[in-house]
Structure 1
Amino acid sequence: MKVFESKCTFEYSWEEVSTANWRKYCPWNEKSTHVIATDTLSRTVDPKTGILRTERLIACQQSVPKWVTAVLGGNAVSYVYETSYVDPASKKVTMCSTNLTYSNVLSVRETVVYQPHQKSPESRTEFKQNAEVMALCGGWQKVKNGIEDFTVERFGQNAKKGREGFEAVLEMSRRVFGEQKELQRRQQLA
């Protein structure tokens, strides 16, 4: 098993980040054009804790080498199952996802956490990402290592693009929200 880890700080409040998180695959995000559909399967709020739990199915158009689809079958659309937990009391968003496509060959389990920055909790948000990658191809250790190394490297490239795209979504969300607030202010003055 190989592990990918990443951390960064967004120069936006936790409220902005946790709200924009639901829009990260929108058209504003030119870095996520591979996401072709996001379907919410369920959404519930725990009455005791106030935690919002959401299950989603995400469909992605992947650039899978042709030999992979020839050997393993399937097509270039892959599916990811995501469960997220938004805890407004502790200001924490936790997202857990796992691949459904090719899961008999490769298991990728990702966890993402957004929390207010310790030193600037009102204006910055910490992002932590962890992905465990495990190839499931029997006793061929060299092949397993190669698949895992390739997947972790590709995961890192995609994670960088994902952060860049989310920054664009955050910027656009702030701009749109600011315009809405200004419009409301003008309407109140009229």
Structure 2
Amino acid sequence: MKVFSSGCTFDYSWDEVSTANWRKYCPWNDKSTHVVGVDTISRSVDPSTGILRTERLITCNQSVPQWVLSLLGGTTTSHVYEISYVDPVAKKVTMCSTNLTWSNVLSVRETVTYRQSSLSPTTTTDFTQEAKITALCGGWQKIKNKVEDASVERFRENAKVGREGFEAVLEMSRRVFGEQRDLEKQRMQA
């Protein structure tokens, strides 16, 4: 097993980040065009804690080399199962996902957390990401290591692109919803 981890601080409040998180795969995010569908399986709120729990199925078109498809079969369409928890009291969003497609060859378990920053709680949000990647190639340790290393590198590249796309979604959300708030204030003052 190999582990990829990263983190950063977004210059947006937790309220902005936790709201924009639901728009991460929206049409104006040109960094997530590989996502072709996001289906909500279930959604519930725990009445005692206020935690929103959501299960989703994310459908993607992946660029898989033709030789891999020929060797292992399958298609370029893949599915990811995600469970998320939004804790409005702790100001924390936790998303746990795992691949359903190709899981007999490669297991990817990712955990993403958005948490209100302790340094500047009203204006910034801390982001952490960890992926545990395990190649399931039987006893061939050299092949297993190479597959895991290549997968971690690809995950690193995709994570960078994903963060850039989320920044664009955050900026667009701030502009659109900031303008709406300004218009509402103007109407109330009139």
Q: 2:130 maps to what in 1?
A: 130
Q: 1:7 maps to what in 2?
A: 7
- The answer to whether the aligner puts 1:67 opposite 2:67 as a matched pair is yes
- The answer to whether the aligner puts 1:103 opposite 2:103 as a matched pair is yes
Deviations 1:67-107 (A, max 9, x none): 11111111001100000000001001000000000000100
Give TM-score, length-normalised by structure 2: 0.98
**Aligned letter for 1:184?**
E
Residues 78-97 of structure 1: pairs in structure 2 closer than 5 A? 78-97=78-97
**Aligned letter for 1:11?**
D
**Cα offset for 1:48?**
1.1
Q: 2:112 maps to what in 1?
A: 112
Q: How many positions carry a matched residue from both structures?
A: 190
Q: 1:121 maps to what in 2?
A: 121
Deviations 1:123-160 (A, max 9, x none): 00000000000001100101100110010000000000
Q: 1:189 maps to what in 2?
A: 189
Structure 1, gaps ≥5 residues long:
none
Structure 2, gaps ≥5 residues long:
none
Distance in 1, Cα, partners of 2:187 & 2:120:
33
SS of 2:31's partner is helix
Distance in 1, Cα, partners of 2:153 & 2:88:
34
> Deviating runs (4+, > 3 A) in structure 1?
none
**Cα offset for 1:185?**
2.0
**Cα offset for 1:117?**
1.2
Distance in 1, Cα, partners of 2:75 & 2:110:
23
Distance in 1, Cα, partners of 2:10 & 2:121:
11
- The answer to whether the aligner puts 1:43 opposite 2:43 as a matched pair is yes
Distance in 2, Cα, partners of 1:5 & 1:131:
6
Distance in 2, Cα, partners of 1:57 & 1:68:
24
Q: 2:161 maps to what in 1?
A: 161
RMSD: 0.7
Distance in 1, Cα, partners of 2:4 & 2:51:
27
Distance in 2, Cα, partners of 1:69 & 1:44:
38
Give TM-score, length-normalised by structure 1: 0.98
Distance in 2, Cα, partners of 1:185 & 1:121:
24
